[in-house]
Amino acid sequence: MKKVYDLFRILWFWIRFRIFALLNFVSFIHKTTTPMALEQEISQLAVAQVDFIDDTLESNVEETLTAYGELFRLSLELDKANETDETVAPVAGGVLKLANQFGVVFKELTPDQADAVKSAVAEIVTGPNEGLIETFFNASLNFITKAKGLNIAVDQLISAGQ
């Protein structure tokens, strides 16, 4: 069992490192004004590298990577919007914290619960960047639920191996 756990821990660190490297590369590309299509190709390339024997785990990892990539892409848009409207970053930081709290309180947020939360936040957020911030909140919540799903899938595999 310890070997299975160690294997998943190593796998998780490898995935985190690859995401970190990918995001730094994407950030560099974004700063050098490379078209957005390249960022999408890089995201697809990262997802294509995941090929596990267990299809459920593979799907969970791919969904989590995709959700994280979308969240990062939106953060770049928010950074750009913050250059002309300095209220964007604090509001985006607030909705990110709010999404995280929903992920903590509701460890297994159902799609209906997530939709209700997204709808409530859409009614609260206002201003010139309202759509972008709402989309960022939705992507944040989506990433959190996907990451929680990945945690559950890995825990189940570890439990099954005991």
What's the whole-model pTM score?
0.73
For the CA atoms of 12, 4, 145, 110, what is the dihedral angle to 10 degrees?
170
The answer to whether the CB of 95 falls within 8 A of the CB of 121 is yes
pLDDT on residue 12: 57
Tens of pLDDT along the chain (162 residues) come to: 455 445 455 555 556 655 655 555 555 545 544 455 676 777 778 778 888 888 888 889 999 988 998 998 999 999 999 999 999 999 999 999 999 998 777 767 788 888 899 999 999 998 889 999 999 999 999 999 889 888 888 888 888 876
Question: How many domains does the structure of the chain reveal?
Answer: 1
How many other C-beta atoms are found inside a 10 Å radius of the C-beta of residue 37?
A: 8
154: containing domain = 2-160
SS (H, E, C) the chain: CHHHHHHHHHHHHHHHHHHHHHHHHHHHHHHCCCCHHHHHHHHHHHHHCCCCCCHHHHHHHHHHHHHHHHHHHHHHHHHHHHCCCCCHHHHHHHHHHHHHHHHHHCCCCCHHHHHHHHHHHHHHCCCCCHHHHHHHHHHHHHHHHHHHHHHHHHHHHHHHCC
pLDDT on residue 24: 57
